[in-house]
């Protein structure tokens, strides 16, 4: 198509906008419409291809899969990388790396001081004890920090999204103690894949990609005077550790997991089979003017 004709159409579309609109939305939508028109032109996208894409997006929305699609296309990780760069430009670096939140956080998990048990439902799997310290940029422990933790069960499913689990199973909020310490008992998580036959699965198959995540545990760590940390730790030796469909694995987020078999230790922990331990400290950044928002506004499942 004639380039001038495309420009004329784009100008005409944009000329219908007025000052009563939102300038930010106008700028973004105009850019997206322009890029889409150029994509259609350059790739010679046919009407049936365009409308099948529109149907796909409608279906993905109905399925509530846009969070998964954003992760799977690498966009959520891209937003993390942009945040890293913005912080680095302001001289903020070090600390625990951030990584994607994913679409499965639910607010309001039971809160406790210092320690918690995450697995409230009976489930198979090996026992995991994880703990550590929350520290500020100065390396000092942060007492009263809130460590929100959520993970999947032995089938790779999350409470609330999986109605077979009780509410808040494998979800807790732990306040660090006077020494900035948190600890919890749980089960070693397993990796999981996007819902089979769902919108994300269909798209990934067309791209010749898998939709599997390595085993991981999610965290939000918040404390007054500090930037909120959104991150995950991975379980080492998972076959998908560096092949996460959501691109979320990062150096610094794969702690050593130790197996404990000593009978005296088992008795002390009140477990009847060998268990695993992970020690992991969270390093936060101090709040600073001029940085992008660390509390991300995002719609969550309402418990
Ligand atoms: Fe997850």
pLDDT tens-digit series, residues 44-86: 999 999 999 999 999 999 999 999 999 999 999 999 999 999 9
How far is ligand 1, taken at its centre, from the CA of residue 65, in Å?
14
How far is ligand 1, taken at its centre, from the CA of residue 30, in Å?
34
Tell me: the pLDDT tens digits for 225-270? Answer: 999 999 999 999 999 999 999 999 999 999 999 999 999 999 999 9
Distance, first Cα to last Cα, the chain: 51
Rounded Cα gap, residues 127 and 103, in angstroms: 26
DSSP code string of the chain: --HHHHHHHHHHHHHT--TTS-HHHHHHHHHHHHHHHHHHHHTT--HHHHHHHHHHHHHHHHTT-HHHHHHHTTHHHHHHHHHHHHHHHTT---SSPP----S---S---EEESEEE---S---S-EEEEEEEEE-TTS-B-TT-EEEEE---TTS--BTTBTTSPTTTTEEEEE--TTSEEEEEEE----EEPPTTSHHHHHHHHTT---EE-SEEEEEEE-TTB--EEEEEE-TT-TTTT--TT----TT----EEEE--HHHHHHHT-SS-EEEEE--EEPPBP-TTPPPSS--------
How far is ligand 1, taken at its centre, from the CA of residue 151, in Å?
6
How far is ligand 1, taken at its centre, from the CA of residue 296, in Å?
17
How far is ligand 1, taken at its centre, from the CA of residue 214, in Å?
9
How far is ligand 1, taken at its centre, from the CA of residue 105, in Å?
9
Residue 199's pLDDT band, with cuts at 50, 70 and 90, is very high
pLDDT value at position 31?
98
Q: Where are the domains of the chain?
A: 3-45, 69-283
Token pair listed for 187: 């089960």
Query: 266-283: b or e for each residue (b if 16 or more CB lie within 10 Å)?
Result: beeeeeeeebbbbebbbb
How far is ligand 1, taken at its centre, from the CA of residue 190, in Å?
10
How far is ligand 1, taken at its centre, from the CA of residue 55, in Å?
27
Evaluate whether the domain defined by 69-283 bears CATH number 3.40.190.10: no
How far is ligand 1, taken at its centre, from the CA of residue 218, in Å?
6
Rounded Cα gap, residues 171 and 179, in angstroms: 23
How far is ligand 1, taken at its centre, from the CA of residue 147, in Å?
16
Tell me: the pLDDT tens digits for 97-150? Answer: 999 999 999 999 999 999 999 999 999 999 999 999 999 999 999 999 999 999
């Amino acid at each position: 198509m004639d380039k001038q004709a495309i420009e004329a159409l784009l100008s005409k579309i944009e000329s219908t906008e007025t000052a009563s609109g939102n300038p930010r939305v106008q700028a973004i939508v105009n850019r997206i419409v322009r890029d889409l028109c150029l994509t259609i032109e350059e790739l010679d996208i046919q009407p049936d291809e365009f409308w099948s894409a529109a149907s796909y997006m409608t279906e993905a929305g109905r399925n509530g899969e846009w969070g998964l699609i954003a992760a799977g296309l690498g966009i959520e990780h891209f937003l993390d990388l942009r945040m890293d760069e913005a912080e680095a430009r302001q001289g903020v670096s070090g600390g625990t790396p951030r990584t994607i939140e994913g679409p499965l956080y639910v607010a309001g998990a039971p809160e406790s001081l210092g320690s918690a048990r995450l697995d409230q439902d009976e489930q198979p799997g090996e026992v995991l004890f994880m703990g550590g310290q929350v520290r500020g940029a100065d390396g000092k422990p942060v007492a009263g920090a809130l460590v929100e933790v959520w993970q999947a069960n032995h089938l790779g499913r999350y409470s609330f999204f999986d109605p077979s689990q009780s509410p808040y199973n494998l979800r807790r909020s732990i306040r660090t103690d006077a020494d900035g310490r948190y600890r919890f008992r749980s089960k070693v998580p397993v990796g999981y894949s996007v819902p089979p036959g769902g919108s994300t699965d269909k798209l990934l198959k067309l791209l010749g990609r898998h939709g599997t995540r390595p085993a991981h545990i999610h965290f939000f760590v918040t404390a007054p005077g500090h930037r909120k940390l959104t991150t995950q730790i991975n379980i080492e030796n998972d076959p998908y550790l560096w092949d996460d469909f959501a691109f979320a694995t990062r150096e610094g987020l794969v702690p050593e997991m130790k197996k404990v078999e000593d009978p005296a230790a088992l008795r002390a922990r009140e477990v009847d089979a060998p268990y695993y331990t992970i020690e992991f400290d969270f390093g936060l950044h101090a709040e600073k003017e001029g940085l992008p928002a660390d509390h991300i506004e995002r719609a969550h499942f309402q418990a």
